[in-house]
Amino acid sequence: MRGNFGTFYFKVTRLVSHTIKMSQLEDFIEFLDDCYPELGPNLTSAATVKDVMKVIKTKCNVINITPVEVAVSFNSKIETEAKSLISDYNAAVNKFCHTFRLQFLLDKKLSESDFLICETIEFVLDWDPAEHLLNDICRLMEKAFQGLSRRIIVKSMHK
């Protein structure tokens, strides 16, 4: 899945960097700063569109590309051209989440970015990791935290 993410990110970054001109860089940074104020300090030091996309990448992980989707929405031409890349990647993520067993994710961090630690909620599920899929946790988290940022770490608790 990491390879798929890398390929997706490379193609989208190339599309964005070839479409957004240097004269639009300041507007692009301002747009993203409005969407993700916590990225402001890193965005202001970005000298190129590729630098901006590297900052956006820090908000993504292999199962959540929403920040890239927000970035491409800055320009309707990019948004149109990136639509198939995004839908193909989301289909791959969906397939991954429906087939990947939780036992392979034990003690793995799926998020690249560090979250502000204002609240931590820990779910203790009496599940056998071999019997559940990543999608089971994704559905649970989506129901519990609709639209909010979340970090998923799967751990095994031995009895």
**Domain check: are 66 and 137 in the same one?**
no
Write down the pLDDT at residue 17. Answer: 94
Residue 159 lies in a domain: no
**Domain check: are 88 and 27 in the same one?**
yes
- Could you give the number of structural domains in the chain? 2
Residues 87/92/96/99 CA torsion (nearest 10 deg): 100
* Confidence at 77, pLDDT banded by 50, 70, 90: very high
Domain boundary among 99, 119, 141: 99
**Domain check: are 95 and 107 in the same one?**
no
**Domain check: are 33 and 108 in the same one?**
no
Mean pLDDT of 67-95: 92
Cα–Cα distance measured from residue 158 to residue 126, given in angstroms and rounded to the nearest whole number: 10
Residue 74 lies in a domain: yes
133 phi/psi in degrees, rounded to 5: -110, 160
Asked whether residue 112 carries a pLDDT value surpassing 60, the answer given is no
Residue 144 lies in a domain: yes
Mean pLDDT of 89-105: 77
Write down the pLDDT at residue 80. Answer: 93
Domain boundary among 56, 77, 99: 99
pLDDT per residue over 40-69, tens digit each?
A: 899 999 999 999 999 999 888 888 889 999
Cα angle at 67 between 42 and 49, to 5 degrees? 50
Q: Which residues contact 15 (CB under 8 A, 6 or more apart)?
A: 72, 78, 81, 82, 85
**Domain check: are 114 and 93 in the same one?**
no
Residue 125 lies in a domain: yes
Residue 13 lies in a domain: yes
The rounded mean pLDDT for the chain is 82
**Residue 131 DSSP code:** G
Structural domain boundaries enclosing 55: 2-99
**Domain check: are 117 and 148 in the same one?**
yes
Residue 71 lies in a domain: yes
pLDDT per residue over 118-138, tens digit each?
A: 556 677 777 777 788 888 887
- Name the E strands within 14-146: 108-109
The b-or-e profile of 40-75 (16+ CB within 10 A means b, else e) is eebbeebeebebbbebbbebbbbbbbebbbebbebb
Write down the pLDDT at residue 107. Answer: 62
Write down the pLDDT at residue 138. Answer: 79
Cα–Cα distance measured from residue 105 to residue 65, given in angstroms and rounded to the nearest whole number: 19
